[in-house]
Amino acid sequence: MNKKRIVILLLILVIPVFSLAQVTVIKAGKLIDPKEASVQENVLILIKGTRISNVGPDIAIPEDAKIIDLSDYSVLPGMFDCHTHLCLMIKAKGTLGLAFLADYLLNTTADKALQGVENARTYLESGFTTIRDVGNAGNFADVALKRAINAGKFPGPNTLVTGKIIAPMGGQHHVNSENLDYPKIEYIEADTRDEMRKGIRLNLHLGADWIKIVIDDQRYIYSAEDVRFMVDEAAKAGVKVAAHCVTEKGVRNAIEGGLASIEHGFIMSDEALQMAKDKGVWLCGTDFSKEVWDVYGSPKSYPGIVNRLKRAYQIGVKMAFGSDIVVEIPGHTRGSAALTLLDTWLDAEVPASDILRALTTNSAEMLDMAKIRGNIKPQMRADIIAVPENPLENILTLREVKFVMKDGKVYKNLQ
């Protein structure tokens, strides 16, 4: 068969696929642009397959289009959570540390994967259409979950994963001489450069989209040179590095090492925050609400978190939204628990417009997805939610998501 015939055959096979793509038109009462903090009224959104085709007040509606009337709602892009642990759910009863240990001892990777299915569904129902999962998933349950969601086997957000967390000996735990290996179920212990390189390559080979490292949960911490080595190694495969940092020294080593995002950063001086701003390092602060701190058993931590968030905002650090919920919060699903963190941002006096950017366009930029997700524009993925009020005026309306579309498919419709 010659090349011309092959091309003709391929065209015959491909053209029907395009013609069968679902055409949908959303009638938006208010269309919110988070990046510009602007509102348009009575706008039509034309969607073909998984992508937005056109947006405007007077676009032509195809005869075969499915009409979704959201004229009584504010319509905006789906939200992001850039620090999640889908496959981890701790039921805190008594000492939290013992609850974490029980999770390691009692739950298999299969258990974690099934927990991830449930958490992913509730995230999507709450309006989160994209997440970055940052570990604690046993033997790569996060990768399996991502593949299952992408294949349409289970409902869930568009998911990026980090695989196993790379850390110095012990991971984030303290072991005894007869149980040295139990952290390895979720951590790659890497103390030498060869071990760091091997850990990165293993994660990437098995399907990780980012690399996550732990800098400072032990008496020994990764140096700025260690961080730089891992950042450079990951960059060879076009992948960025995020780092768990909870101390001033850890944060400084992370920034000097050139990584992409600081996770937590609970203890950061103004000088460290300015360093992050100057170097263009993102802060994914996981700013727990008082409600979450109460469950964690550390209510006195809340004022400090509010203070750091307030100072980070005033200094102008680039910030993306991350929740880090791993404990069962009474009365909440994983998705709704993440939205309790809106209280922290409000208490830190961050304007609604900038909270919304952190949840959408900022997070999309940090994850290198700004060209395809995070706003409602032609050629972008059709990740769309609807809420009763304008979130630029009342950000808490995001807790009342009534409609969810991801990649052009409706998962929740006016409920």
CATH number for the domain that contains residue 380: 2.30.40.10
Residues 145 and 65 in one domain: no
CB-CB contact of 386 with 74 (8 Å)? yes
Q: Is 237 helix (H, G, I), strand (E, B) or coil?
A: coil
CATH number for the domain that contains residue 221: 3.20.20.140
In a domain, 3, yes or no: no
Residues 267 and 383 in one domain: no
pLDDT of residue 18: 44
Range of the domain at 398: 10-77+376-413
d(CA 354, CA 348): 12
pLDDT of residue 17: 45
Residues 73 and 93 in one domain: no
Checking DSSP bridges between strand 384-387 and strand 51-56, what pairing results, if any?
A: unpaired
Q: Is 314 helix (H, G, I), strand (E, B) or coil?
A: helix
d(CA 167, CA 245): 12
pLDDT of residue 152: 93
CB-CB contact of 244 with 213 (8 Å)? yes
Residues 201 and 100 in one domain: yes
Residues 87 and 148 in one domain: yes
In a domain, 409, yes or no: yes
Of 95-99, 248-252, 290-294, 370-374, give the lowest mean pLDDT range: 95-99
d(CA 68, CA 95): 49
pLDDT of residue 16: 47
Give the residue-averaged pLDDT of 238-258. Answer: 96
Q: Is the pTM of this model over 0.75?
A: yes
Residues 190-234 pLDDT 10s: 999 999 999 999 999 999 999 999 998 788 899 999 999 999 999
pLDDT at 11 over 90: no
Instruction: Report the domain count for the chain.
Output: 2
Residues 53 and 170 in one domain: no
Band (pLDDT 50/70/90 cuts) for residue 104 is: confident
pLDDT at 296 over 90: no
Residues 91 and 229 in one domain: yes
Neighbours of 20 (CB within 10 A): 8
> Interhelix angle for 248-257 vs 270-279, to 10°?
20
Q: Is 211 helix (H, G, I), strand (E, B) or coil?
A: strand
Residue type at position 10:
L
d(CA 325, CA 161): 16
Residues 388 and 405 in one domain: yes
Residues 178 and 280 in one domain: yes
pLDDT at 139 over 90: yes
User: What average pLDDT is seen over the chain?
Assistant: 92
pLDDT of residue 19: 46
